Amino acid sequence: MTTRLFSIFPKALSALPLSRVGLRSTLRPKPHGIALHKIALKQEKSAFISSTRNSKMSDDEADPELLALLRQHLQGKLNLDDEPETGVLEGAEYVYDNSIDVALDMRATKNAAAFIYDQMQQKQYSTETWAEHELHPKTKDESTVAFIFIMDLLNFSFWSLRPEGERFAVSYRDKTWTGYWSLVASLQRALEEDIPITDPHFWVNEEECNLESLRHVFRSCTDEEIPLLEARLTCLREAGQVLYEKYNCSFTNCIEAASGSAAALVNLLARDFSCFRDEFQFEGRRRPIRFLKRAQILVADIWGCFNGEGYGSFRDIDKITMFADYRVPQILATLGCIGYSPPLQALIARKETIESGSKYEMQLRACSIWCVELIRREIKRHHPEAKVNAILIDFFLYDTMKSMEAEGKESMPHHRTRSIWY
């Protein structure tokens, strides 16, 4: 989504009283290394939780949300055991608690929450914003679900180290599209050329769907080819096979199998499609850390496209977290919400590739998820009536970062990781 959201971003950002003192203190090398760093992080986190709690209730008052859940459970209206969870937020908090290379500035995060809420209100940002972009589907039917499925099946790795005029780009409707929009433009162009790119039967047909045909679908108006073309073909093959064997060649049957639960649909994707199983081991934890970026954004895009109705109706949509990629961490750092250790900062500044699943990369992604969750909580704390969740905050921040990029206002580069996960 590249709709320009606000042009006053740099001015408004400079007006925010963003304190970096706490962040610098957590990232500065200490005599006792990791131990003191963890203490500083926990002190900062405790101060943030304490301040937000005091703004609403005293320590001896019961949490009304917890009481409501308990009341529903006792009345038989809520069976917590039957409600699916993705585990993404839990894993993100664990990495944040144990992170030594990425830290959050709690004061900047609270300031960012106020700023983001104000801008989203001014722009009337909602699920309806999703369909406003000229390349997103406008119909609300099964063909749209199929389009969104392949869109997020292949929604990964568009960054380039080449200059803007030389990077992979797609010419479509008299415009040049880069990044995520180059993918959407390619898919729309293929459909106009009568290529059945959204049909799982096409994906498993090795004679019709192969590297040569995909090079045509994703042909660039520059000399650079779309990254990871072979990996995209592999994703198509696997997805087509799974849909054929288990879901009668239609992703709508996956949605039906999730029984109206966004978390269940995310879990289904991670269980049945290995190309959506975005999870890694992290030191000190037996269970893997789950990010599930593309699985989550697939559910979110369906929710946004259908405005929370029909195929997009999910009772637990707020369980979806921010989508851990490279753009949202970039703007969170620009806002002063997150900061990096000197070695990690140097890698990002030099635009060196950070390995997928490495400790650096997992800290970047997990701390970004947790930061957006804290922003969401802060907004809801001050505006309980606000219809805002991590999805809308993520969409908003992504749009904002892309607008800044288009205007040449990036103050720092994003991290570089080449993978199928984002």
Contact 5, 123 (CB under 8 A): yes
- The Cα 108–Cα 102 span in angstroms is 15
- The Cα 215–Cα 220 span in angstroms is 9
Structural tokens at position 293:
């970026």
Has 174 been annotated as catalytic? no
Residue whose tokens read 């309980």? 384
Amino acid at 214: L
Which residues make beta-bridge pairs with 94?
none
- The Cα 252–Cα 392 span in angstroms is 23
Question: Active-site residue among 101, 272, 301, 325?
Answer: 325
Dihedral (CA of 35, 112, 397, 7) sign = negative
- The Cα 240–Cα 200 span in angstroms is 5
- Phi and psi at residue 41, to the nearest 5°: -60, -45
Contact 254, 265 (CB under 8 A): yes
- Cα 348 → chain centroid: 19
Q: CA nearest 88: which of 353, 288, 312, 364? A: 288
User: Among the residues of 81-171, which ranges form H helices?
Assistant: 88-97, 106-122, 142-153
Angle, nearest 10°, between helix axes 327-334 and 359-382?
60
With 0-12 CB in 10 A as exposed, 13-18 as middle and 19+ as buried, what is 273? Answer: buried
Contact 283, 312 (CB under 8 A): no
Contact 220, 166 (CB under 8 A): no
Angle, nearest 10°, between helix axes 142-153 and 229-246?
140
Go through 311-322 and write b for each residue having 16 or more CB atoms within 10 A of its CB, e for each that does not: bbebebbebbbb
| Residues annotated catalytic, as ranges | 325
